[in-house]
Amino acid sequence: MDGFSALRRSALRPSCRALTSTSPVVLDFLAPRASRQPHLRRHFWGSSSASSSSPSDAQNSPSGATGPSGKPRYILNKRQREFLDSALRVNQAGELAATLIYKAQTPQVVRSYPHLRPLMKHMYDQEAGHFSTFNNLIAKHQVRPTAMYPVWEMAATFLGWSTGAMGREAAMACTEAVETEIGSHYNEQVREILSWAKEAESRGEELDEEITDLLAQLRRIRDEELEHLDHAVENDAKEAKPYDPLVNIIRYGCKGAIMITEKI
């Protein structure tokens, strides 16, 4: 788990590029210059017209470009681009939280249950991979990271530490609760992008490769999250005491964090 510091530094890197001498440092961290001035955004879902502020910005319109198989490329409208911005912001924050939860839980869980070390490491390694994926996407598409980043760091570490201290079953119940919410959140994103693919097909167009690649990544990561959920249940998550209050608090906490991070 020594790679966490490097992962965290890479998460902050895109924001650091945006520092200017005319704005407070903290505000530039929260709102990179390029995301406040859309015309400066160079990589945005394969569409050079994506930064347009013309009236056609509000609806899908042909760009004249073609997709991988030669069909006209489906151009995202403003709402769809904002959806992806928001989704990447939430996903990055969620994966940050997941790595911190496992980092805080693992020493306490494996002290009493050494046989769980490989499983905890396997789940942590997958979360670190997810975090790295969204760090790269956030940087590539110059999406503003959440302003709540430091708050979620503290909250996730506390959640991991406290459920780890409560014991193996509580730690697993925490994973079950988090993965239930995160799995369904990834599913919503997959469904939304599939609806764009359907619309594109009905118009004889096709999604940009960047979007289809993102869809594949979301499906893979969702499946891995659901695998974590299965591991948690197999390792007695339901034996946690008190199970219902613990799981409900964590699930409501996740829902609230997602809603806040979508906006802030």
Q: Is 181 in the site for Fe ion (CB under 5 A)?
A: no
> From the CB of 221, what's the least distance to Fe ion, in Å?
6
Q: Is 144 in the site for Fe ion (CB under 5 A)?
A: no
Q: Is 128 in the site for Fe ion (CB under 5 A)?
A: no
Mention every residue, 6+ apart, whose C-beta is less than 8 A from residue 146: 89, 90, 92, 93, 152, 261, 264
Amino acid at 51: S
Q: Is 225 in the site for Fe ion (CB under 5 A)?
A: yes
CA distance 121 to 109: 11
Q: Is 222 in the site for Fe ion (CB under 5 A)?
A: no
Q: Is 127 in the site for Fe ion (CB under 5 A)?
A: yes
Q: What mask, x for binding Fe ion by CB under 5 A, covers residues 66 to 95?
A: -----------------------------x
Q: Binding residue per annotation — 205?
A: no
CA distance 103 to 246: 20
Q: Binding residue per annotation — 231?
A: no
Nearer to Fe ion, 74 or 186 (CB): 186
Q: Which residue is nearest to Fe ion (CB)?
A: 130
Which residues between 97 and 126 bind Fe ion (CB under 5 A)? 98
Instruction: Give the range of 19-27, 51-59, 78-86, 228-236 binding Fe ion by CB under 5 A.
Output: 228-236
Q: Binding residue per annotation — 130?
A: yes
> From the CB of 47, what's the least distance to Fe ion, in Å?
28
Among 73, 168, 228, 231, binds Fe ion (CB under 5 A): 228
Nearer to Fe ion, 50 or 98 (CB): 98
Where do we find the tokens 């942590």? 124
Counting Cβ atoms within 10 Å, is residue 132 exposed (0-12), middle (13-18) or buried (19+)? middle
Instruction: Give the range of 40-48, 65-73, 154-162, 221-229 binding Fe ion by CB under 5 A.
Output: 221-229
> From the CB of 29, what's the least distance to Fe ion, in Å?
24
CB 142 within 8 A of CB 34: yes
Instruction: Give the range of 53-61, 150-158, 183-191, 224-232 binding Fe ion by CB under 5 A.
Output: 224-232
Binding site residue list for Fe cation: 95, 127, 130, 179, 225, 228
Which residues of this protein are in contact with Fe ion, per CB under 5 A?
95, 98, 127, 130, 225, 228
